[in-house]
Amino acid sequence: MRELKHPHKFKIFSEIFQFIKESIIPLIVFLVSIGSKIPAKYGGDYTEILVVIAFGVISIALAIVKWKRNVYCVETEGIYIKYGVFEMHERTVPFSQVHTADISSSIVQRVFNVCKLEIDTAGGDGKSEISIFLSKQEAVRVKNIIFKGNKMEDEVEIMEEKNIKKFMTSLKDLFVMATFSSRILTGFFIIIAFYAKIDDKVPDDVKRGAEAFSNDVIKEINGTSIIKYIVALVLIMLFISWSISVIMTVVKYYRFTVIREEDNIKLSYGLFNKKEVTIPVKRIQSIIIVEGVIKKPLGYFSLNLETIGYGKDKGESTMICPIAKKKVLDKFFEDVLPEMNITYDLEKPPRKALKGFLLSRLLVDFIVMSIIAIFAPYGYYIFLLVPIIVIWHYIRFIDNGLYCSEDFVVMRYRNLARKTVIVQKECIQSIEKSQNIFQKRKAIAKYEVTIAGDILGKSYTVRYMNEDYIEDIMLTTFQ
């Protein structure tokens, strides 16, 4: 006999809020459309009030019924859930099919000691298989049962501290991450949007006064001072953008902690919306070491994971280490991911491939620069960038690399950031070699690996590698 439990009563408030959020616009349109059509003697003066009251009663009643009919049960081999209002649904998810179980809590939910537990399998619809509001203690209990070899309550409380390894991102590293992040561009867009919004609200008289004042100021200063003012304005905008980037980064990744506990990796992070994620090590298919253009010279890197069921809502959620010093990399692998701690000596692309690599890229760049030179004022100055572009493509070429061992394939390539991908051979779904007629003459080819993904899979590509080396890898990959 199943011991059925209801989710936390916070679900009632969540359902009410969701119902209002989805229905508020149709409600307003309805109120506007009927407000003038009902005569006062038939209650027209109170129509809006009555409709709002009815709307509130219906939303509360539906939320309570939904909570009442939503039940779950943690069984020996899986979790059972039953939900619905007019049509009832029953679902059982075996523990063996669970890929991730995430615990998240907003600042409001933490006040009520409630969390959202999201359980994912390998489904590809972009939604969690099970999403349920539970108390903090109950959410942790269910999550532990899932990832402790199907052991029940009393057993999951046992934790051997000697098997736990911990890594935490410092606040200083988050500041560095924010400084060199693309979020700074987000700050620029926020400033521009704010200006546009204010510009619409400011009266015309104030605008004319401000314009006249700025014109008077410009007349009184010379050209050198104007340059100083422009530089100061740009620096102020950069500072504001940087501040916005820092706030966004710290709020999202505050106290980013990675814990290796037996066969699971646990992540927790967030200031207001705190998330706790458990990733079984056996579900990890590949790990990506990312070294940005600016971060790499400063000795910083970040780490991403590819695993079915985790991070399918937003790609950035696959991050296992937002930023750290390069010297920490070996220690991180030793403590957190010893299974993927390997040494490798990458096979580099042959020199005979350099000419074709540069020509194929520079041809596209030359066409774009020619268009700019023809149609943009002083556009011909863009050709001054040619030496820089050639050097950049050469760096991209020498960063390419490939390595194959008994259990892993290592691939390195660069678009903007340099990425080193370590793929477990047992997770590879397919491999592909391709080459055009010019590459075939020089015995060079493109190597592509595809691993399982939530929908279409994930592919990694290294170009202009030695054809013989690729064929050797292809022969040994599935043996």
DSSP string, 321-339: EEEEEGGGHHHHHHHT-GG
Distances (CA, A) of 106 to 112, 335, 347: 10, 30, 47
pLDDT at 348 over 90: yes
Give the closest residue to 65 by CA, choosing from 84, 90, 89: 84
Amino acid 215: pLDDT: 66
Average pLDDT, the chain: 80
For residue 159, give both structure tokens: 């934790």
pLDDT at 29 over 70: yes
pLDDT digits (tens, 9 = 90+) for 333-343: 888 888 888 88
Per the document, the length of the chain is 479
CA separation for the pair 32, 28 (Å, rounded): 6
Beta partners for 117? Answer: 103, 132
The CB density around residue 262, as the number of other CB atoms within 10 Å, is 14
Distances (CA, A) of 368 to 362, 386, 414: 10, 12, 21
Amino acid 353: pLDDT: 92
CA separation for the pair 410, 215 (Å, rounded): 61
pLDDT at 421 over 90: yes
Beta partners for 404? Answer: 409
Distances (CA, A) of 360 to 353, 356, 372: 11, 6, 19
Distance, CA of 91 to chain centre: 28
Rounded to 5, what percent of the chain is helix, strand, coil?
A: 50, 25, 25
Over residues 344-366, mean pLDDT: 92
Over residues 182-204, mean pLDDT: 63
CA separation for the pair 410, 343 (Å, rounded): 10
Decide which of 33 and 68 is more confident: 68
CA separation for the pair 330, 342 (Å, rounded): 10
Q: Give me the helices (H) in 329-458, please.
A: 329-335, 354-375, 386-399, 437-441
Q: Is residue 392 within 8 Å of 420, Cβ to Cβ?
A: no
Amino acid 222: pLDDT: 55
Coil, helix or strand at residue 463: strand
CA separation for the pair 121, 437 (Å, rounded): 43
User: Residue 364: exposed, middle, or buried by beta-carbon count in 10 A (0-12, 13-18, 19+)?
Assistant: exposed
Q: Is residue 273 within 8 Å of 105, Cβ to Cβ?
A: yes
CA separation for the pair 365, 386 (Å, rounded): 9
Amino acid 323: pLDDT: 86
Decide which of 225 and 32 is more confident: 32
pLDDT digits (tens, 9 = 90+) for 245-279: 888 888 888 889 898 888 888 888 888 888 888 88
Q: Is residue 179 within 8 Å of 242, Cβ to Cβ?
A: yes
Q: How many CA atoms lie within 13 A of 269 on its CB side?
A: 26
Give the closest residue to 460 by CA, choosing from 416, 405, 414: 414
Whether the model pTM is above 0.75: no
CA separation for the pair 266, 280 (Å, rounded): 9
pLDDT digits (tens, 9 = 90+) for 105-141: 888 888 888 888 888 776 555 556 788 888 888 888 8
